[in-house]
């Protein structure tokens, strides 16, 4: 068997398709496989399956699995059939679903990898942007959910993820009880909730949702009130702590202009003291001794997260009141603002604590417990 025949077999390509050419670009570490169909072939109309003449062709490229450390691509002129009934349509291809730039093999790899590592890491490993990885996941998650019974779902979680450095958003919807992702929507805020409700209308009745857990953004809150008016809006630990971490970072960025020691410390402040390496711990202590606002903001976050280890609801409230007093007298504007925001939403935070609503490995960007499994 020659190279072309071998590649044809591993790609699973059958007549009328065949491998016409293979180019190995050693300087670009790239392999290009050109596919062609036998001249004069007829193809099924994608709507009615009736064999039809080829009207014209469109040049297309698909990313395929790497060939060792070479990125590999399929190229083909895709025929458009002219069916008497349905007009001119691009034909279905055995190696790819319509309108994607990836082969089915490549997409399967992405889905499998996303089950065990964060989407950002998957994107890095295959040199693809995060948004494309999310697009692939959205397709497969949303399709898999079609066959899942969601009539028992009564608590959902919503998570907004920014991709492309904040220019694009993805919204994840979780089934809290089963701890799995049930829907991925492009965009964010109220519109994402509206589309979720619409897409799920056959599977989830709006009044079956008792709790919606989310961050404290006004857009999600107003969307939840409008589209799921009977659900209680709650705020789980993950989202409260994330807001506290964002606050620390705001304080740090403002302060590092005056205090260079704070440069490159963003990730230290995200950790709890017990998780810091020896080097990080040293750094943290040296900054604490400089009496920075950032170090103080960090202490407020550490104190805040003790809320979730208190068992009795009455003591939770008492503890928070003390924290609130302390925070609003901190002389750090960002911490005062954080305290006021948390106070304003405290009923929803208490409710989540009472119901023990928390997804443990809820890092947002990790697709663990993807519904596809």
Residue 244 contacts residue 230 (beta carbons within 8 Å): no
Does residue 42 belong to the site contacting Zn ion (CB under 5 A)? no
Is 81 or 247 the residue whose CB approaches Zn ion more closely? 81
CB of 239 to Zn ion, least distance (A): 49
Angle in degrees, CA 109, 114, 117, rounded to 5: 125
CB of 52 to Zn ion, least distance (A): 7
Three-class DSSP category at 315: helix
Is 35 or 83 the residue whose CB approaches Zn ion more closely? 83
- How many positions of this chain bind Zn ion (CB under 5 A)? 6
CB of 37 to Zn ion, least distance (A): 19
Residue 354 contacts residue 236 (beta carbons within 8 Å): no
Is 43 or 320 the residue whose CB approaches Zn ion more closely? 43
With CB under 5 A as the contact rule, which of the stretches 41-49, 172-180, 246-254, 290-298 interacts with Zn ion? 41-49
Does residue 91 belong to the site contacting Zn ion (CB under 5 A)? no
Is 4 or 86 the residue whose CB approaches Zn ion more closely? 86
Does residue 45 belong to the site contacting Zn ion (CB under 5 A)? yes
Three-class DSSP category at 319: helix
Does residue 48 belong to the site contacting Zn ion (CB under 5 A)? yes
How many Å apart are CA 230 and CA 222, to the nearest integer? 13
Nearest to 172 by CA among 373, 41, 367, 322: 367
Place of tokens 């899942």: 148
State both tokens at 236. 């789980």
With CB under 5 A as the contact rule, which of the stretches 31-39, 81-89, 120-128, 210-218 interacts with Zn ion? 81-89
State both tokens at 60. 């297309």
How far is C-alpha 206 from the chain's CA centre?
A: 24
How many Å apart are CA 197 and CA 193, to the nearest integer? 6
Among 83, 137, 192, 284, binds Zn ion (CB under 5 A): 83
CB of 53 to Zn ion, least distance (A): 12
Place of tokens 């400089």: 290
Among 47, 116, 290, 347, binds Zn ion (CB under 5 A): 47
- Contacts to Zn ion from residues 202-261, by CB under 5 A: none
Residue 16 contacts residue 60 (beta carbons within 8 Å): no
DSSP per-residue codes, 100-167: -SB-HHHHHHHHHHHTTSBHHHHHHHTT--HHHHHHHHHHHHHHHGGGS--TT--EEEEEEEEETTTT
Does residue 88 belong to the site contacting Zn ion (CB under 5 A)? no
Does residue 86 belong to the site contacting Zn ion (CB under 5 A)? yes
With CB under 5 A as the contact rule, which of the stretches 45-53, 196-204, 276-284, 285-293 interacts with Zn ion? 45-53
CB of 208 to Zn ion, least distance (A): 40
With CB under 5 A as the contact rule, which of the stretches 16-24, 63-71, 77-85, 337-345 interacts with Zn ion? 77-85
Does residue 54 belong to the site contacting Zn ion (CB under 5 A)? no
CB of 79 to Zn ion, least distance (A): 14
- Residues forming the site for Zn ion (CB under 5 A): 45, 47-48, 83, 85-86
């Amino acid at each position: 068997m020659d190279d072309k025949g071998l590649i044809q077999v591993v790609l699973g390509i059958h007549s009328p398709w065949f491998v016409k050419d293979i180019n190995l670009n050693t300087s670009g570490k790239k392999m290009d496989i050109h596919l062609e169909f036998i001249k004069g072939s007829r193809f099924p109309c994608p709507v009615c399956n009736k064999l039809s003449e080829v009207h014209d062709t469109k040049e297309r490229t698909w990313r395929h699995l790497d060939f060792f450390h070479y990125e590999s691509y399929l190229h083909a002129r895709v025929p458009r059939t002219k069916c008497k009934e349905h007009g001119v349509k691009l034909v279905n291809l055995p190696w790819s679903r319509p309108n994607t730039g990836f082969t089915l093999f490549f997409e399967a790899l992405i889905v499998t990898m996303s089950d065990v590592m964060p989407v950002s890491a998957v994107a890095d490993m295959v040199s693809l942007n995060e948004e494309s990885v999310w697009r692939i996941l959205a397709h497969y998650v949303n399709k898999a959910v079609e066959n899942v019974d969601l009539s028992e779902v009564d608590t959902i979680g919503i998570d907004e993820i920014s991709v492309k450095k904040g220019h694009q958003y993805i919204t994840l919807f979780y089934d809290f009880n089963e701890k799995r992702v049930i829907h991925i929507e492009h965009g964010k805020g109220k519109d994402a909730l509206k589309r979720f409700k619409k897409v799920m209308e056959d599977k989830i009745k709006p009044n079956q949702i008792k709790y919606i857990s989310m961050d404290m953004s006004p857009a999600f809150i107003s969307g939840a009130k409008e589209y799921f008016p009977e659900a209680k809006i709650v705020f789980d630990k993950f989202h409260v702590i994330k807001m506290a971490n964002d606050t620390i970072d705001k304080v740090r960025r403002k302060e590092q202009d005056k205090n260079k020691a704070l440069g490159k410390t963003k990730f230290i402040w995200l950790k709890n003291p017990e998780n810091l390496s020896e080097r990080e711990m040293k750094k943290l202590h040296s900054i604490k001794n400089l009496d920075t606002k950032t170090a103080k903001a960090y202490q407020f976050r550490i104190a805040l997260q003790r809320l979730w280890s208190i068992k009795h609801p009455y003591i939770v409230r008492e503890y928070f009141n003390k924290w609130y007093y302390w925070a609003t007298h901190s002389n750090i504007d960002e911490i005062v603002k954080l305290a006021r925001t948390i106070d304003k939403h405290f009923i929803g935070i208490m409710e989540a604590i009472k119901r023990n609503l928390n997804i443990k490995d809820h890092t947002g960007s990790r697709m663990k417990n993807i519904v596809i499994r």
